[in-house]
């Protein structure tokens, strides 16, 4: 298994920099970044208050068979939330492109390399699957289910996340509900480029004020953080401000560079990994 440093900083990555693409396999292109720094910023130090996964879908995957004929597939990579690192997305793209002129015995050989290299990058075992051309018609599209927050006609004055906006009615009986918004937008931590997403919040507990929650989510509009970090910030802020008994936060982000990243964080004891069906904007 390849060894990666665990002290990489986002600004040391290739984000926003001119890059030469390598067309032959090179695992050293992967750039892991420790999760710990950003987690400490939101008050997570040792025990995680959630479990979950980051689901990556890669739509620009190609390699050569042993006769030199190009092959294409869609790769899905599932990394555990308790892995010590994330992998910076541009380095992920460059790594995948390094297979473009690489001859492999078949899809199984590609999966083996991806699992080995990405497990080393994330610092924990990842699961990799390929959807081949003859399976493309089986892929589904569906929207996140739940009550749509975007229906609310609200005034918005702040475009930075403010957890003080969040509150719940602890005088009323607890509820279980699922809320959805397609108005999530944040910006890349390094380049400031926009990241567009939809978010689903499922919880059990005191009813969360929906207008306040929508204002809070819109507040990420000028916020610079990676996808995974935004979802964890949302989870922690809701837990601290609204104190639900159970909470799950799932975001589906639109793709950039042929990759989409879909983080899910939950403390539901019976929580199962969410469906990977893409939504209309993906």
- b/e sequence 149-173, b meaning 16+ C-beta within 10 Å: beeeeeeeeeeebebebbebeeeee
- Pick the closest to residue 63 from 100, 105, 111, 22 (CA basis): 100
Measured CA to CA in angstroms, residue 7 lies from 31, 39, 232 at distances of: 10, 15, 21
CB 16 within 8 A of CB 191: yes
Show Cβ contacts of residue 16 under 8 Å, excluding neighbours closer than 6 positions: 190, 191
Closest CA to 168 of 242, 240, 246: 242
Pick from 129, 131, 25: nearest CA to 77: 129
DSSP secondary structure letter of residue 278: B
Give the total residue count for the chain. Answer: 282
Is 188 a known active-site residue? Answer: yes
> 85 near 121, Cβ under 8 Å?
yes
From 54, 117, 195, 260, active-site residue: 195
Residue from 54, 188, 237, 260 carrying the catalytic annotation: 188
Tell me which residues are annotated as active site.
188, 195
């Amino acid at each position: 298994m390849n060894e990666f440093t665990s002290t990489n900083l986002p600004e040391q990555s290739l984000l926003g920099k001119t890059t030469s693409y390598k067309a032959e396999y090179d695992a050293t292109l992967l750039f892991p970044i420790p999760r710990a720094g950003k987690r400490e910023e939101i008050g997570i130090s040792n025990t995680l208050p959630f479990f979950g996964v980051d689901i990556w879908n890669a739509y620009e995957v190609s390699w050569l068979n042993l006769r030199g004929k190009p092959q294409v597939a869609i790769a899905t990579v599932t990394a555990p939330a308790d892995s010590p690192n994330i992998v910076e997305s541009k380095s992920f793209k460059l790594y995948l492109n390094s297979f473009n002129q690489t001859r492999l015995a078949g899809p199984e050989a590609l999966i083996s390399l991806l699992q080995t290299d990405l497990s080393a990058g994330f610092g924990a075992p990842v699961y990799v699957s390929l959807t081949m051309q003859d399976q493309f018609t089986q892929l589904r599209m569906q929207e996140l289910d739940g009550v749509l927050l975007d229906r609310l006609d609200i005034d918005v004055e702040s475009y930075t996340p403010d957890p003080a906006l969040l509150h719940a009615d602890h005088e009323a009986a607890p509820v279980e509900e699922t809320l959805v918004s397609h108005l999530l937008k944040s910006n890349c931590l390094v380049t400031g480029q926009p990241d567009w997403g939809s978010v689903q919040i499922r919880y059990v507990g005191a009813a969360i004020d929906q207008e306040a929650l929508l204002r809070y989510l819109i507040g990420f509009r000028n916020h610079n953080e990676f996808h995974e970090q935004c979802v964890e910030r949302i989870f922690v802020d809701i837990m601290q401000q609204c104190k639900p008994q159970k909470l799950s936060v799932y975001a589906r982000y639109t793709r950039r560079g042929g990759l989409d990243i879909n983080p899910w964080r939950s403390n539901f004891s019976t929580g199962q990994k969410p469906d990977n069906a893409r939504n209309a904007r993906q």
